[in-house]
Structure 1
Amino acid sequence: METQQQIWQNMTGKIFRNSITHLVEEAIIREQANGHLIKVCVGSDSHVYGDTINYATAVVFIREGKGAFTFIRKEREIRKISIKERMLNEVNKSVEIAYAICSILEMYDVEMEVHVDINTDPEFKSNVALKDAMGYILGMGYVFKAKPYAFASSNCADMMV
């Protein structure tokens, strides 16, 4: 399976060739120099088209009272998997990025949340992965947010997948 792990873009499609750690640190320095209080939210989403699964991971920078901006990574897999495995793949992609950037965020005293596109209502299929996802993210020491509070996955990544 071929992934484009180091190819990040913004919501308008501008491509960045730097690693996410470099992009995050550069953004934090710039935003703090401009006097913005920021928080970072990481989330992933996926859509299935036949045997193809398209994933998008979003790293969202929220400027308190001043809007937001996002870095997006897209990936594609060709295989059939269960809904639970797909939801946990999304979670894993988010945790992978959260882990990669957490030391930078700590260095600059920036809060982070990990968002999952999993419904808290048991009537929805994605709910099958809720407990596993919550345990994984909280066990890593991150703040966990699920629908309807998980905009990084449910909105930002969803728009780009």
Structure 2
Amino acid sequence: MKYDVERDFLFQNSQERNMNFEEAFNRIIKFMNLDRSGNFRLMIGTDSQVHDRYTRFITGIVILNEGKGAWACIRKVVIPRKMKMLHERISKETSLTEEIVSMFTEERKNTMIDIVLPNLYRGASFTMEGHLDIGAGNRNKTRVFVEEMVKRIESMGIEPKIKPNSFVASCYANRFTK
């Protein structure tokens, strides 16, 4: 499947709508440049909600400067059918997260790292995480998918997070799936 990046990858937040990925990335860079010695976590995660005639997926991108604020946006994808099978939905959530992660090319990651690099001695840091809306608890239906989805995120070279530590998927993105 071929994507039209300008049409298929539009992001929004409470201040801006219809940002393409380059515009969203530039907002992340602008945010990081506000405090070049910050402790930054770039977190990407997706959640979904099945509705009567469709399933809505929301992928959140959050750049957090620990203790000093965040900038965030979402991407919405609607599949025009009820996706009732849990494995299919969790796999699609992970795929949508992987799509966005892959847009952070080595060049873009290096741009972000270069912001904090001169300030490492001051405690600056940068990490990248993939947040999965799954949990390993005995009562969690998604526990059987944890190993598979975690390996997928790890294979992309970023740190996977599951519940209760995957708040971009389970809290931020979840707010917009309703």
How high is the TM-score relative to the length of structure 1? 0.87
- 93-102 or 123-132, which deviates more: 123-132
Give the direction of change, closer, same or farther, for the CA distance of 1:51–1:142 in structure 2 (3 Å limit).
Answer: same
Letter in 2 for 1:35: D
Letter in 1 for 2:35: G
Counterpart residue identity of residue 158, structure 1 = N
1:114 touches 1:137 (CA, 8 Å); kept in 2?
A: yes
> Could you list the per-position Cα deviations for residues 55-111 of structure 1 after superposition, in whole angstroms to 9, with x for gaps in the alignment?
000000102221112110111112343101100100110011011114212332142
Tell me if structure 2 keeps the 8 A contact 1:43–1:58. Answer: yes
Residue equivalent to 1:136: 152
Show the counterpart of 1:5. 8
* Secondary structure at the counterpart of residue 67 of structure 2: coil
1:96 and 2:96 correspond: no
Aligned counterpart for 1:107 among listed residues 97, 108, 111: 111
SS at match of 1:122: coil
Matched, 1:29 2:4: no
Structure 2 residue 87 is matched with structure 1 residue 84? yes
Q: 2:119: which partner in 1?
A: none
Rg bigger for which structure? Answer: 2
TM-score (norm 2): 0.79
Question: Distance in 2 between the 1:159 and 1:153 partners?
Answer: 9
Q: Which residue of 1 aligns with 2:77?
A: 75
Alignment of 1:118-157 (within 5 A): 118-157=134-173
Residues 127/13 of structure 1: CA separation in 2 closer, same or farther (3 Å cut): farther
Aligned CA distance change for structure 1 residues 135 and 33 (closer, same or farther; 3 Å): closer
User: Offset at 1:34?
Assistant: 1.6
Q: CA deviation at 1:155?
A: 0.8
- The alignment partner of 1:31 has SS state of helix
User: In the alignment, is the contact (CA less than 8 A) between 1:84 and 1:128 conserved in 2?
Assistant: no
Identity %: 26
Any unmatched runs of 5+ in structure 1? none
Q: Which residue of 2 aligns with 1:160?
A: 176
**Residue 20 of structure 1 aligns with which residue?**
21
